[in-house]
Amino acid sequence: MKLILSLLFLSLRFPSFFHPAAARGGERTSSISGFMVDNNAIRGRHLFQENHFQKLDNLAHGYMTNSDLENAIKAFGNRCPSISRIYSIGKSVKGVPLWVMEISDNPGKEEAEPAFKFIGNVHGDEPVGRELLLLLANWLCDNYGKDPLATLIVNNVHLHILPSMNPDGFLLRQRGNANNIDLNRDFPDQFFSINDDLGARQPETKAIMSWLKEIHFTASASLHGGAIVANYPWDGTQDGRKYYYACPDDKTFKFLASVYSRSHHNMSLSEEFQGGITNGASWYPIYGGMQDWNYIHGGCFELTLEISDNKWPTANELPTLWEINKMSMLNLVAVLVKTGVHGRIFSSDCGRPLPASIAVERINYTIKATEAYADYHRLLAPGEKYDVVAKMPGYKSKSTSILLAEEAMTVDFILDPVITPMGSLLGSGCDFSRDNKSRLQLVEYFPRLHLEISLTLVVVILVFLCFLLRRRAILNYLKHRESVGPKRSNVAV
């Protein structure tokens, strides 16, 4: 009933809601939405679709097919096994695996490092991203240990690359998936009750949502076509109208979008978008988008990147598109470790890691530290003063003020358990007999303290041994005196 009322409200308040834009950065209305529903119109629509398919099919020459893409991903994994892992997050409607390439110096292992994901080919007729993401992966493989930026990323970030979210749409040369659903309108929305039925969501959408439950992503970006601009939240507004609608981290998102735009050959020179960036709702509102959902439900700062003004350029343009987007892609990933506030959170009573929340005063948005290592990575716009707060139920909150410059800062927190009136520790859950991992992490986190304690212990043991040896020598001497009688004194006469 709630869904029906919401849809009725939308249709009455802003009917254009039901004619979503053909791309996040492309045509504002559907190319075929103007046809009347009569026999001539149906024939015209079919003719248009056939001509459109044939045009895109001709353009597809030189692009990887879905089989080519799968083989290229597996070939990459075989070529770079020491810094990569290949896995699938699910399957498309037609059963095509959604392959991901993870790139890290410890692929497949959870570490106290930020994670970033790239997603390409969200719309089937926007295939540039799938090609560029394969080039990015291979560039990192070829330049790891040689190029400082490649080495920085591989050693300090877990990068996950999904070249194609919509392989069925690519095969069919259409925007939507095999069910003709726009995947960038298929996520739960914060303003309207759409896509709330889990069973009604597309398998590709479900795969992305499950992916974010498994991996704690700090930031991400999806690659689209139809414009040259970096788009950031919010993508929609409460009343469906077009105007700038800022999310709580508006300054941070503008900074991230600018990192991409400034590194691009011509994005920042845009005449349509100041600085080559735009707030989504200011451009044109969409609902059920992946970008806003990532930020709200995944704690993940996502951008929507429009990387080619032509949705499906000819294949001979791909090398140029790679060159003008390469540094933008690399710098966007690297910003996860080059700026922001990072740290770990522990309990003071036994040093166990705490998956506490990190909040920033005057920003209505919190992130959580990871369960295993209690590490957090809070992206913030540099050049500002921030009050960072760590809090967790059962523990006393702690805060600190920082002035974030251009470089990243490390701020660690050690939280004290709340003491109840009965004298017990409300937040304590220490049990090293079953929590060896926590004890190991504590030793890793406090190496200097661990060394000092070890040295002190060694000194105490040595002093104690000396005392025992001296005591034994004195006892032996006394026994000897008793056996031989009193010793004469040498007195000078």
* Inter-helix orientation angle 148-156/128-143, to 10°: 100
In three-state secondary structure terms, 110 is coil
Whether 399 contacts 376, CB under 8 Å: no
* Inter-helix orientation angle 436-445/447-484, to 10°: 100
> Does residue 306 carry a catalytic annotation?
yes
**DSSP per-residue letters across 150-204:** HHHHHHH-EEEEES-S-HHHHHHTSSS-TT---GGG-S--SSS--S--GGGS-HH
Instruction: Give the side-chain half-sphere CA count within 13 A for 331.
Output: 15
User: What are phi and psi for residue 390, nearest 5 degrees?
Assistant: -110, 130
| Active-site residue, selected from the candidate residues 50, 306, 361, 482 | 306
Among candidate residues 307, 308, 367, the one with its CA nearest the CA of residue 336? 367
Whether 387 contacts 361, CB under 8 Å: yes
Among candidate residues 266, 312, 306, the one with its CA nearest the CA of residue 128? 312
Whether 299 contacts 77, CB under 8 Å: no
In three-state secondary structure terms, 220 is strand
Residues with catalytic annotation?
A: 306
